[in-house]
Structure formats: structure tokens, C-alpha cells
């Protein structure tokens, strides 16, 4: 396994991050334990979750599963860099959502209880909160850091200017502020190249891409369908919308002798701003296979071909659309 610093911090995390969103709804608790144990065996030490995962309103089901796994001991908690999130609605009362100091404190305490741990390594704001001032948000986060309940703070689904604004307010308070941003980023979703990635680079944030395979679109979907795999109605619509690109992409991967999913991950890992794409395996086979991406080195010719198949926005702003 390869390791890198999380943004500008001294914290070392694996180049692949284990996503846990399937734990509970799609992956049984027992199978989730097997996947997490295997991840540690493979050297994956970076686990990502959120208080809303599990999709049973207000229960934090996925955090509970991870907590019971951690409680088995055996050095599990000491080996894992544990990331979770705060923002989404966790109850019916008005203060059980968002990024008010009230909700941040309660959500953190609830996540710690469910995860059966005394600290969260990376506490991420799941979305920007436009109605709460940064003075309030940072005051709440600073208090959690002082108490040792949170070590680092990250963002998710922020625009570049949100990151810049957050950091400006953190600097006024002599607080470290954000160390990472978790964004939608893959070959078919490259909008973050305009401003989010340049902002992360400038402020020293590590980028953690979610949906690195585009919901399966970049995982060899045409080949799977030809082998009898059924696609959802939404996936069928996406395939028809992008069929020429997918065909060209899968043909390129076949010529390389690589699986499309591995090439998609390798492309993300090629970007120096990317810390670790989030992989969400449902089976041991998928988890074991994902490590191949760390071995693939993409040539300039291949990168050019990928840009031709999946064109981005033209680079960083404003050069992408102005002189």
C-alpha cells in the first residue's frame, strides 16, 4: 500500500479510502466486518463514513456497524484514520441539522457514541451551510479540537470560494481550518477542475474524490451488460447518453489490458492534489481488485486519449473560459 499526507498535515493515509455507505443497506453487518478486516490487511487505513449513512432516519446505522467492529479490539481503532460527517438532518426538531454550534456539538457526541470511540480523526462538513456564520462554525469545531474529540476538520461538496472563505475566517482565529475537501470527481464529472482543485492546491487541502467510478459508468458497464448483468433504469439512461464515450473508453482499457475501474482510479491518483479516491466495494473481490489501480502508470499518450474521450472544463479558471 502507498501512503501520503492528508493535505498539508503530517497525517499519513492510504492512497485508497474505504467508503462505507453500503454498510447496512446493501452490505450485511457480517460482510462489512470482513471488508474492514481485509482493508486493514491490505494496508488501507483510511475509512470514510457519515452520520446519515445507513439511511434509517436518525439512527446512524453505518456508524453503529463500524462502532461494533471497532469494539472488537485487536488494534482496530489505533490503525484506522476515521472520518465521518455532520450536516444532514438527524431528527425532526429544527436544530437537528446544519452547522450551528448546537448541532455540531450534539452530532459529534452522537457519532462518538455510535462509533464507540473517544475521537474522530477527520470531521467533515457534509455540505456548505449558508445560514450559519463561520465565526460560529469555527468556534464549535475549535471546542471539539480542544477537547480532543476531533483532530482535523474537512469539508465536502464545497465550492472553491467556500473553501477560501472558510480558510480566511480560520486564519483570523489562528486555527488550522480545513485540511481536506471531499468532492464528486471522476472522468465523467470534472467540474471541480475549474476552481475547487486549484483552491485545494493553494490552501493545502487534500482532495478526496467520491463516486470515482461515476456510479458504475466507468467500471466496465458495457462488458458487464453483455455478460448478463442487469442495469437500473437510471443507469440505462446514462449509458445511452454517453454510449460513444463509454465504448471508446472500454476499448482503450482493453487495449491497455486493464479493467476500466482500475484505469478510472489510476487517473484520479495521477493528480497530485488527490489524496485518496473513496472506493465502496460490496465484495472482497472488488476490494482486492482495487489495489491494481496503484500499480498502473498512465503514459502521456494515454492521458491525452482519456482527455479526448472524457474532456474536462478546459483546466483551471479563468483560463478555461477567458484569457
CA nearest neighbour of 269 among 3, 8, 82 = 3
Q: How many CB atoms lie within 10 A of CB 172?
A: 12
Which residues are annotated as catalytic? 53
Mean pLDDT (the chain) is 95
Determine what percent of the chain is predicted with pLDDT higher than 70: 100
Residues in the chain: 323
The three cell numbers locating residue 98: 446544519
**Dihedrals phi, psi of 239, to nearest 5 degrees:** -65, -45
The per-residue pLDDT for range 168-189, each reduced to its tens digit, is 999 999 999 999 999 999 999 9
Task: Give Cα separations from 111 to 65, 127, 159, 245 (angstroms).
Answer: 12, 17, 26, 41
Task: Give Cα separations from 175 to 45, 85, 135, 179, 230 (angstroms).
Answer: 26, 20, 11, 11, 50
Measured CA to CA, the distance from residue 101 to residue 56 in angstroms comes to: 24
Domain ranges of the chain: 3-216+259-299
Residue 91 pLDDT: 87
Measured CA to CA, the distance from residue 229 to residue 225 in angstroms comes to: 5
CA nearest neighbour of 178 among 202, 194, 212 = 202
The per-residue pLDDT for range 239-274, each reduced to its tens digit, is 888 899 999 999 999 999 999 999 999 999 999 999
Measured CA to CA, the distance from residue 258 to residue 26 in angstroms comes to: 27
CA nearest neighbour of 141 among 114, 161, 113, 169 = 169
The per-residue pLDDT for range 208-250, each reduced to its tens digit, is 999 999 988 999 888 888 777 777 778 888 888 889 999 999 9
Residue 312 pLDDT: 94
- Bridge partners (DSSP) listed for residue 120: 150
**Dihedrals phi, psi of 120, to nearest 5 degrees:** -105, 125
* Class of domain 3-216+259-299 as given by CATH: alpha beta
The pTM (predicted TM-score) of the whole model is: 0.94
Amino acid at each position: 500500500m502507498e501512503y501520503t499526507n492528508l493535505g498539508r498535515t503530517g497525517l499519513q493515509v492510504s492512497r485508497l479510502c474505504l467508503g462505507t455507505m453500503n454498510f447496512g443497506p446493501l452490505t450485511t453487518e457480517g460482510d462489512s466486518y470482513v471488508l474492514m478486516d481485509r482493508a486493514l490487511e491490505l494496508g488501507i487505513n483510511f475509512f470514510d463514513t457519515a452520520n446519515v449513512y445507513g439511511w434509517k432516519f436518525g439512527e446512524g446505522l453505518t456508524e453503529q456497524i463500524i462502532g461494533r467492529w471497532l469494539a472488537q479490539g485487536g488494534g482496530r481503532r489505533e490503525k484506522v484514520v476515521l472520518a465521518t460527517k455532520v450536516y444532514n438532518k438527524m431528527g425532526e426538531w429544527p436544530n437537528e441539522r446544519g452547522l450551528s454550534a448546537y448541532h455540531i456539538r450534539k452530532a459529534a457526541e452522537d457519532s462518538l457514541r455510535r462509533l464507540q470511540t473517544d475521537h474522530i480523526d477527520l470531521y467533515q462538513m457534509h455540505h456548505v451551510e449558508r445560514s450559519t456564520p463561520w465565526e460560529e462554525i469555527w468556534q464549535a469545531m475549535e471546542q471539539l479540537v480542544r477537547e480532543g474529540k476531533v483532530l482535523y476538520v474537512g469539508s465536502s461538496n464545497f465550492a472553491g470560494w467556500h473553501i477560501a472563505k472558510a480558510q480566511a475566517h480560520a486564519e483570523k482565529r489562528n486555527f488550522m481550518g480545513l485540511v481536506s475537501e471531499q468532492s464528486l470527481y471522476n472522468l465523467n464529472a470534472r467540474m471541480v477542475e475549474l476552481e475547487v482543485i486549484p483552491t485545494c492546491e493553494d490552501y493545502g487541502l487534500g482532495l478526496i474524490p467520491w463516486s470515482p467510478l461515476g456510479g458504475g459508468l466507468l467500471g466496465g458497464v458495457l462488458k458487464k451488460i453483455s455478460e448478463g448483468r442487469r442495469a437500473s433504469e437510471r443507469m440505462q439512461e446514462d449509458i445511452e447518453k454517453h454510449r460513444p464515450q463509454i465504448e471508446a473508453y472500454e476499448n482503450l482499457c482493453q487495449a491497455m489490458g486493464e479493467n476500466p475501474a482500475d484505469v478510472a482510479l489510476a487517473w484520479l491518483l495521477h493528480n497530485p492534489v488527490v489524496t485518496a479516491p473513496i472506493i465502496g466495494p460490496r465484495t472482497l473481490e472488488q476490494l482486492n481488485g482495487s489495489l491494481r489501480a496503484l500499480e498502473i502508470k498512465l503514459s502521456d499518450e494515454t492521458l491525452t486519449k482519456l482527455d479526448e474521450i472524457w474532456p474536462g472544463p478546459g483546466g483551471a479558471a479563468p483560463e478555461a473560459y477567458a484569457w
